[in-house]
Amino acid sequence: MNSPSVPGRCRRRTVTAGAAAAVLALLAVASPAVASAPAPAPPGVQRSLEALVSELGVPGALVTVREPGGRTVSGAAGVGDVATGAPVPLDGEVRAGSNTKTFVAVVVLQLVAEGRVRLNSNIEHYLPGLVRGKGIDGRHITVRQLLQQTSGLPNYSDYLGEDVRHFEPRELLDLALRHPAAFRPGTSWQYSNTNYLLAGLLVERVTGHTLAQELDTRIVQRLGLRHTYFPAPGETALRGPHPHGYYRDAGHLLDVTEFDPSWAWAAGQLVSTNADLDTFFTALLTPGRLLPAAQLAQMQAATATADATFGPGARYGLGLVSRPLSCGGRYWGHGGSFPGYETRGGATEDGRAASVAVTEQVTDSARRQHLDDLVDGALCEAAAAAR
């Protein structure tokens, strides 16, 4: 997701590029102890993970792969704390960014299955008078268009700048509505966090509960996700073992692990782990686990081309991205980009899943492609291992 620049007040430590390189060099010698696990990642996956650190310069990287029979393997590379050289926790918590959108879309589709929400109803029906602006009218924007990013609503996070104070969702919506629509609803596709801001408000209005409560009850508890949660208001630290997250500024790595994530809310506030994300996406593709078959089919009706945002061949369904695999077939996931962390991953319908996280928000195409290639390679290796 688009995210604001990191202001000075978010900087816990400043580490020079030289010091970081020295720590990473030391870790390369000790890497077997850092990445050790009862079920290590396949060699090809581990090499790709280490290349993220040694060749592309991210401070830390971690991966978890689920094979079709349910066996899980994990790997890590780099450091979990640049200042101390502490190892990367094999399944450490990270800010999962826009993977949150898939969780929110699942809750909305559960409400559709319960007859409490209709995908083709306009958002005005659920949030009367709330969505108005230049070229913007909630009477002409459907719930489906919000979930599929075809509403034309401006992206509020494009206008945040360096302001990462605590935000209420309505403040973020007001910020978006000061700007004109990008296109008439349903006539094009454009990624906008504002769509999921409204989806979160819809969930709260229909259920009478907070979005955090609904995510926890309907998904987290149902699947037994041990390290997935929606941070409480004012909560700035991660609760469990985690690698530190960094922002790169003029050759320095700034520790941005702890700050208020409320600016992301329903579009990207979730905290999770690779293993929990693998569990979530695997369950999502199993009819009846999270969604009835009819709603899952609607979610997977990925008719919107999303190449510019998610890479060649990507298509966007209802909060779910479909991507082609080099070994044949497709996988379903989302991915997230958040100050300090970048995540990629997804699952296939035969039970494979892979999630990778790095401890720096990735803004260049080379490193993004490497992350996508790593997921592709992990899922293809899992298919080969199952033969």
Length of the chain: 387
Task: Supply the range of the domain harboring residue 226.
Answer: 1-387
* pLDDT of 35 above 60: no
Encode pLDDT of 16-32 as tens digits: 444 443 333 333 333 33
What's the pTM value of the predicted model, to 2 decimals? 0.91
**Phi, psi angle pair for 324, to nearest 5°:** -75, 150
Tell me the average pLDDT across 225-231: 97
What confidence category does residue 151 fall into, taking pLDDT thresholds of 50, 70 and 90? very high
What confidence category does residue 387 fall into, taking pLDDT thresholds of 50, 70 and 90? low
* pLDDT of 224 above 90: yes
**Can you tell me whether residue 23 is helix, strand or coil?**
helix
Tell me the average pLDDT across 337-362: 97
Model pLDDT, residue 306: 86
Q: Among all residues, which ones are annotated catalytic? A: 98
CATH code, domain with 186: 3.40.710.10
* Closest to 97 in 3D by CA, of 285, 272, 227: 272
Tell me the average pLDDT across 223-237: 97
Cβ proximity of 114 and 149 under 8 Å: no
Between the alpha carbon of residue 48 and those of residues 242, 296, 316, 317, 380, the distances in Å are 21, 32, 27, 29, 14
Quote the mean pLDDT of the chain. 90
Return the number of other C-beta atoms located less than 10 Å from residue 1's C-beta.
20
Measured distance CA(250)–CA(87) in Å, rounded: 25
Model pLDDT, residue 26: 34
Give exposure, 264-284, as e/b (b: 16+ Cβ within 10 Å).
Answer: bbbbbbbbbbbbbbbbbbbbb
* Closest to 368 in 3D by CA, of 317, 316, 314: 314
* pLDDT of 216 above 90: yes
Encode pLDDT of 169-198 as tens digits: 999 999 999 999 999 999 999 999 999 999
* pLDDT of 293 above 90: yes
Count structural domains, the chain. Answer: 1
What confidence category does residue 2 fall into, taking pLDDT thresholds of 50, 70 and 90? low
* Centroid of chain to Cα 246: 17
What confidence category does residue 3 fall into, taking pLDDT thresholds of 50, 70 and 90? low
Q: What percent of the chain has pLDDT over 70?
A: 90
* pLDDT of 88 above 50: yes
* pLDDT of 11 above 90: no
* Centroid of chain to Cα 214: 18
